[in-house]
Structure 1
């Protein structure tokens, strides 16, 4: 397993991360899966206070109790559950962020969070307020680094300009190359790392039946998946190709893969041990379809 630093920080993460959102609610099975991942070299575990009303954080925290120094815990904030449980509302206010972190710390059974991320964001948010909250939490030692989870170039540019964030989590894959247009170069220039999610494009690049995806037709998705299989050949899996495509971008510190089953974990670990793509294979993948671009929030 290779490890990369997050931005300019001293936080080092495995280049394949464990997305915890889909973990089942069976504590024993989930704990066994998390422990197996850690034993195999995965150190980055990403959750959010939104997932299962906080139960996901609690599950991860309990699983790693007594192992805190071995793992990098990332979680997200900004979606506030309504008291009646009917849904949630967006709340990036300073007061809420300073309050919510204590609940995450309690559920994760830790006194610090390695990476605290704003779980979305718009230009209508009180950006400076949110940044002040994150900076204060760093000063207090409750978090080591902070970032945002966003696919909006307009929002990302403002956080790059105003904050000291270490990361941006964004969707990026062979079928979603929108970050290439402006975000990846900007973040690389400012030494802000990308945590890539959606590397498999909802499984379409890893064996699931083709369907329309973003601006690509079903036929185009089928064409991309076929090329991934061809490039994989007999020495790689399609998942390895999909992950290597993402990690070829130097700004991407980790491909965070959603994992729910032992089979999915095995695929992620295999991707971490992948054979790198040749320059010719990479060029073929890049030239197959016209890259898509963001239509909104530019």
Structure 2
């Protein structure tokens, strides 16, 4: 497993990370899966207080009792569940963040979070107030680094210029190259890492039938999947190919892969030992479909 520095922080993250959102309700089964990932060298585990109303954080926290020093725990804040439990509201305020972190710490059964991320963001937010909350938590030792999870270029630019974020989590894949236009170069310039999610494009690049994806038609999605198969052959190398396409970008510190089953974990672990794509192979993939671009929040 390769490890990369996360931005300017002291965190060294595994280039394959475990996206915990899809974990089920069986704490023992989850612990076995998470321990297998850690034993294979995966060290970054990403969750959020939004997932399963906090139960996802709880199952991750239970799993790593006794092994806390070996893992990097990343979670997210900003979506406040309503009292009736029938939805949530966006709340990036300083008081809420300072309150919510205490609940996440308790569920994760830890006294610090390695990476605390704002789970969204708009230009209408009290951005300086939000940053103040993260800075205070870092000063208090309750978080080691902070970042945002966003695909909005205009929001990303604000945090790049006004904060000390270590990372931006964003969707990036062969079928979502929108970050290449403006976000990736900007973050590279400022030594802010990308945590890439959605590398499989909801599975259509790997093992699911073609269907419309973002602004791509079924035919274009099929073209991309065919290009992947042409470069990779079949089987595990398809996963290797779509993951390596993302990690070819030097600003991408880790590909965060959603994992729920033993088979998905095995594929993720194998991808860490992949052979890198050649420049010709990368070029062939990029020719398969035209790059998309952000239309909103530019």
The interval holding the TM-score normalised by the smaller chain is over 0.9
Matches within 5 A, 1:83-102: 83-102=83-102
- Name the SS of the counterpart of 1:237 in structure 2: helix
CA contact (8 A) 2:173 2:245 kept: yes
Separation of aligned partners in 2, 1:234 and 1:294:
32
Q: 1:66 offset after TM fit, Å?
A: 1.0
Separation of aligned partners in 2, 1:234 and 1:176:
22
- Name the SS of the counterpart of 2:213 in structure 1: coil
The aligned counterpart of 2:277 is 277
Separation of aligned partners in 1, 2:94 and 2:124:
14
Matches within 5 A, 1:178-197: 178-197=178-197
Deviations along 1:113-145, one digit per CA (max 9) or x if unpaired, are 000000000000000000000000000000000
The aligned counterpart of 1:66 is 66
Q: Which runs of 4+ in 1 moved over 3 A?
A: none
Q: 1:235 offset after TM fit, Å?
A: 8.7
Q: 1:233 offset after TM fit, Å?
A: 2.1
The aligned counterpart of 1:49 is 49
Structure 2: state its 5+ residue gaps.
none
Deviates more, 1:103-112 or 1:232-241: 232-241
Query: What TM-score, normalized by structure 1, do the two folds share?
Result: 0.99
The aligned counterpart of 2:295 is 295
Separation of aligned partners in 2, 1:168 and 1:79:
17
Separation of aligned partners in 1, 2:90 and 2:12:
30
User: Is 2:212 aligned against 1:212?
Assistant: yes
Separation of aligned partners in 1, 2:235 and 2:32:
29
CA contact (8 A) 1:236 1:275 kept: no
Q: 1:237 offset after TM fit, Å?
A: 1.7
The aligned counterpart of 1:248 is 248
Separation of aligned partners in 1, 2:288 and 2:196:
21
CA contact (8 A) 2:236 2:267 kept: no
User: Could you say what the CA RMSD is over the residues aligned between the two structures, in angstroms?
Assistant: 0.8
Q: 1:234 offset after TM fit, Å?
A: 5.9
Separation of aligned partners in 2, 1:232 and 1:139:
47
- Name the SS of the counterpart of 2:164 in structure 1: coil
- Name the SS of the counterpart of 1:58 in structure 2: helix
CA contact (8 A) 2:14 2:41 kept: yes
Deviations along 1:19-56, one digit per CA (max 9) or x if unpaired, are 00000111111110000000000000000000001000
The aligned counterpart of 2:12 is 12
Deviations along 1:244-280, one digit per CA (max 9) or x if unpaired, are 0000000000000000000110111111111110110
CA contact (8 A) 1:236 1:274 kept: no
Separation of aligned partners in 2, 1:59 and 1:233:
37
